[in-house]
Amino acid sequence: MPLPSRPLRKLGFLTIGLFDGNDPGQGHESTLEIIELGERLGFDSAWLRHRHLQYGISSPVAVLAAASQRTRRIELGTAVTPVGWENPLRLAEDLATVDVLSGGRLNPGVSVGPPMHYEQVKHALHPDTAESEDFGYARVERLLDFVRGKPATDFSGVEGFEVFSDRVQPHSPGLGGRMWYGGGSLRSARWAGEHGMNFLTSSVVKAEESENFAEVQLSHVRAFRSAHPDGERARVSQGLVVIPTDGATPAQRATYEEYARKRLPRTTAPQGPARMMFAPDLVGTSEQIAEQLYAHVAFQEIDEVAFALPFTFAHEDYVQILTDIATKLGPALGWRPAA
């Protein structure tokens, strides 16, 4: 097995937290238990993905608030919050509140663009402003300004018995440096770097200069760092789907292999008008997955990952996968669990 160019420094995982619509509590409790398990296994971070109007976590910030009270060390992130669904000022308040509750462990990841199925949902989401809403980068800039403490109003001071602030409260000073942008294009990578954010690159990218997924992802990593004030020290986290089978039962291995097989055709060529490319899911022993990652040119230039857990698996499957990642795959990549 080839040696990595640098040892893996931070190991995280991502989940969408599926639940039964008739019994949503059980799925949310499963997600919280998985985050608790991640902390016990020494993972550095746990990330939640939004699923609006679906049977997955619609409010990661609320779930992470609960997780902050059931953990003490693990970092908690969103990967990602689509800000088209959000009011940046209100979101800034929620993020700062959870950051304070967690003791400074929140890592909010965001993205831009119209909400999914916007034509069908716009009158419910933005009934009075649907046609004038700006879903571009300016929406994230507003969020960054509020999180970083820029004034939200020209009024402050005492009015009767109440005291008002001109900036979002609570203010969490370190949160501005822990804001992430989830991007899949050269433009988004450069924009994130220019605005001093961290960069989340996932298993989905836009085929612009190549149709080789790893080469495209590498170009995004380099474009981001070339535009970032911190240059090569700017933080990048890679989020591929990995499914180690070291501790899996024969039935679990068969389920995992069938899951990856069904998703493989979409990885062979760019998909749709946007020419989106998908990375194949990595299924196998930790040694096999580590070899594939060492050969991945984008992985060779990062030292943080947030491996995505597959959709629709059972709780016990996630326990096995996370345990193998922490005890087998992570060490094979040079990572050491947190104390």
For the chain, give every domain's residue range.
10-151+165-332
Q: What percent of the chain has pLDDT over 70?
A: 99
Q: Are 240 and 172 in contact (CB under 8 A)?
A: no
The pLDDT, as a whole number, for residue 125 is 97
Average pLDDT over residues 279-299: 97
The pLDDT, as a whole number, for residue 73 is 98
Average pLDDT over residues 77-92: 98
- What is the number of other CB atoms lying within 10 angstroms of the CB of residue 338? 15
In terms of DSSP H, where are the helices of the chain? Answer: 24-41, 60-68, 88-102, 118-125, 137-147, 186-194, 213-227, 250-263, 286-294, 315-324, 330-332
- Identify which has the larger pLDDT, 78 or 6: 78
Tens-digit pLDDT profile for residues 142-174 = 999 999 999 999 999 999 999 999 999 999 999
Q: Which CATH superfamily groups domain 10-151+165-332?
A: Luciferase-like domain (3.20.20.30)
Name the pTM for this structure.
0.96
List, in order, residues 6 or more apart from 112 with CB less than 8 Å away. 82, 83, 84, 135, 136, 137, 139, 140, 188
Q: Dig out the tokens for 294 from the structure.
A: 């060492």
Tens-digit pLDDT profile for residues 12-52 = 999 999 999 999 999 999 999 999 999 999 999 999 999 99
* 1 pLDDT higher than 50: no
Angle, helix 250-263 to helix 315-324, in steps of 10 degrees = 90
* 292 pLDDT higher than 60: yes
The pLDDT, as a whole number, for residue 339 is 79
